């Protein structure tokens, strides 16, 4: 099938699974649609158990050769891959916006963000140092090395069709692992384009495989395989728990980056303008569809009116439109299930006493477009306080004391990210430490970067991606005791 998108590199548009360095068709196909228009983008080969087993076998076969290469060689391939992504940024962004819906400017930002992980791990791979430990007996040496865990499976979501892939594949390949990727069925085209560029960069056949289609069949094949030694998953807490249960049969290692319920706290002493900028960035990025998007705003009494006034102006100014329309800030939600959840949360909040300040309805553009929405007078009984809305809805609570807001912020099974604005240095350190999350933005609304460890605590999962720690999940420690040595003197 040829693409309706005008790509500079038409070969980036692929619709088949990528196994052992070749594009493989299936007997069945499924439609990938543009969430902004509902238009068909592609009929994609629908992978199931057979294709997944072939991909696992390819990864197994490619593993010995890849893990034997020098870290420097692997780094060269990853760096080239990153550079190719940047060189083809416009094509990748066009594909990404078409299948995911986010505004083109955000899609370009995601290409750069995604490429940064490949570049980062190209460098980090050369610093997988071991240890020489003072021995416990004479005539011996104790040495610790780090080895790739083996064949890895990655399961990635639709909200960042490129960045969530490179954050995993960059680390895995730098560590010397091979990979089978299952991208979201909603957004496989970006992953296929990534595979095209990976091959061009020199990733050997079988080291990176992509299968998309029948999610339960692919998931079962991956989880039942004793060849796959690790699974890295980004997505819902419900699926994360299921994968962890399934992983116990073969004792695979698991990394889980799951849902959040991020609080955003504005204290009386905050810089209000900076807080509004941070609130907009952390709430409305990708139409509110990120795991680190704010889900609950807590504003202190003394600053409440000033903050809300400016926040409302900023929310009203957001432009909703197709990702390709100039000036669009908010694209469509990914599908009708997502839209229905947003509608349910807003209606429930209003029924339980929230005041609607901005939006509150589907957008006139129809489809899955939803109006940027601002609610005040939120309370903990509301569904939107208990689970991620994953949409462009800002729900605001009022609070009086620091202890009160800390208890509210931590009153959730989730613990991914939190944000707060305060200029009281004495408070900043202590408060950040008492938040039960993996990541904290202090006077910052955008925390995502390849240099810092991304991940959560509690039911937001475990494992860290990016940063110097991002390789750990793909490495096993091996200890060698070398005995029978001369003791010297």
Rule CB under 6 A: which residues touch ligand SIN?
159-160, 163, 234, 257, 290-292, 448
Closest contact distance (angstroms) between CB of 295 and ligand SIN is 12
Give whichever of 99 and 257 is closer to ligand SIN, judged by the CB atom: 257
Picking from 49, 53, 50, 73, the residue whose alpha carbon sits closest to that of residue 61 is: 53
Residue 87's contacts (CB-CB under 8 Å, 6 or more residues apart) are none
377: left (phi over 0), alpha (psi -120 to 50) or beta: left
Q: Are 411 and 380 in contact (CB under 8 A)?
A: yes
CB of 320 to ligand SIN, least distance (A): 21
Residue with smaller CB distance to ligand SIN, 18 or 120: 120
Which tokens belong to 253?
């290692």
Catalytic residue selected from 119, 186, 257, 388: 257
Residues 177, 291, 293, 396: which is the catalytic one?
291
- Residue 58 vs 293, nearer CB to ligand SIN: 293
Kindly report the number of other CB atoms within 10 A of residue 97's CB atom: 27
What do you get for the CA distance between the two ends of the chain, in Å? Answer: 73
State how far the Cα of 57 lies from the Cα of 24, in Å rounded to an integer.
14
DSSP string, 319-376: PB--TTSTT--B---SSHHHHHHHHHHHHHHHHTTPEEEE--SB-TT-TT-B--EEEE
Nearer to ligand SIN, 198 or 235 (CB): 235
Q: How far is the CB of 227 from ligand SIN (least distance, A)?
A: 27
User: What is the C-alpha to C-alpha distance for residues 52 and 178, in angstroms, rounded to an integer?
Assistant: 14
Element at 219 (helix H, strand E): helix 215-224
Distance in angstroms (rounded) separating the CA atoms of residues 281 and 446: 7
Query: Is 291 marked active-site?
Result: yes
Side-by-side strand order, sheet with 17-19? 22-24, 17-19, 208-210, 178-182, 151-155, 228-234, 253-257, 461-462
In the complex, minimum distance from the CB of residue 159 to ligand SIN, in angstroms, rounded to a whole number: 5
Q: CA nearest 242: which of 258, 226, 229?
A: 258
- Nearest residue (CB) to ligand SIN, 239 versus 405: 239
Instruction: In angstroms, give the least distance from the CB of 309 to ligand SIN.
Output: 29
Region of 113 please: left (phi>0), alpha (psi -120 to 50) or beta: alpha
Q: How far apart are CA 295 and CA 290, in angstroms?
A: 10
Question: Whose Cβ is closer to ligand SIN: residue 16's or residue 116's?
Answer: 116
Which residue's Cβ has the minimum distance to ligand SIN? 448
Report, in Å, the least distance between residue 446 CB and ligand SIN.
8
Nearer to ligand SIN, 292 or 315 (CB): 292
DSSP letter for each residue of 18-48: EETTEEE--S-EEEEE-TTT--EEEEEE-B-
The minimum distance between CB 44 and ligand SIN, in angstroms, equals: 23
Active-site residue list = 257, 291
């Amino acid at each position: 099938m040829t693409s309706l998108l005008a790509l500079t590199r038409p070969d980036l548009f692929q619709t088949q699974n990528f196994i052992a360095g070749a594009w493989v068709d299936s007997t069945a196909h499924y439609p990938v649609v543009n969430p902004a228009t509902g238009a068909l983008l592609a009929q994609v080969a629908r992978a199931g158990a057979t294709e997944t087993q072939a991909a696992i076998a390819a990864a197994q076969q490619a593993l010995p050769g890849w893990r034997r290469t020098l870290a420097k060689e692997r780094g060269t391939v990853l760096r080239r891959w990153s550079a190719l992504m940047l060189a083809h940024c416009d094509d990748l962004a066009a594909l990404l916006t078409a299948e995911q819906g986010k505004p083109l400017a955000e899609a370009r930002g995601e290409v750069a963000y995604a490429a940064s992980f490949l570049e980062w791990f190209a460098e980090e791979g050369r610093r997988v140092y071991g240890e020489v430990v003072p021995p416990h007996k004479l005539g011996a040496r104790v040495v610790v090395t780090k080895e790739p865990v083996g064949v890895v499976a990655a399961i990635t979501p639709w909200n960042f069709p490129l960045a969530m892939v490179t954050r995993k594949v960059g680390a895995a390949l730098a560590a010397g692992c091979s990979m089978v990727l299952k991208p979201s069925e909603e957004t496989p085209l970006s992953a296929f384009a990534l595979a095209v560029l990976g091959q061009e960069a020199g990733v050997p056949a079988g080291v990176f495989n992509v299968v998309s289609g029948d999610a339960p069949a692919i998931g079962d094949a991956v989880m039942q395989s004793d060849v796959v030694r690790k699974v890295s998953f980004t997505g819902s807490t419900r699926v994360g728990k299921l994968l962890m249960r399934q992983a116990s049969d073969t004792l695979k290692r698991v990394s889980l980056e799951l849902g959040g319920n991020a609080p955003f706290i504005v204290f009386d002493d905050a810089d209000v303008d900076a807080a509004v900028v941070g609130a907009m960035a952390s709430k409305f990025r990708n139409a509110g569809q990120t795991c680190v998007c704010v889900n609950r705003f807590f504003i202190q009494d003394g600053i409440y009116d000033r903050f809300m006034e400016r926040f409302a102006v900023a929310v009203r100014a957001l432009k909703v439109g197709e990702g390709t329309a100039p000036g669009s800030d908010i694209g469509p939600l990914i599908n009708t299930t997502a839209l229905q959840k947003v509608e349910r949360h807003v209606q429930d909040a209003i029924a339980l006493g929230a005041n609607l300040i901005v939006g509150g309805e589907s957008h006139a553009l129809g489809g899955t477009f939803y109006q940027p929405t601002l609610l005040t007078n939120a309370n903990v009984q509301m569904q939107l306080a208990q689970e991620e809305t994953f949409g462009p809805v800002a729900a605001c609570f009022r609070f009086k004391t620091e202890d009160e807001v800390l208890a509210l912020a931590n009153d959730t099974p989730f613990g991914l990210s939190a944000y707060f604005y305060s200029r009281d240095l004495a408070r900043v350190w202590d408060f950040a430490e008492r938040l039960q999350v993996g990541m904290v933005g202090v006077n910052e609304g955008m925390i995502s970067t390849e240099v810092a460890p991304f991940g959560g605590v509690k039911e937001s999962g475990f494992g860290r991606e990016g940063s110097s720690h991002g390789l750990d999940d793909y490495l096993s420690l091996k200890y060698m005791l070398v005995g029978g040595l001369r003791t010297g003197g």
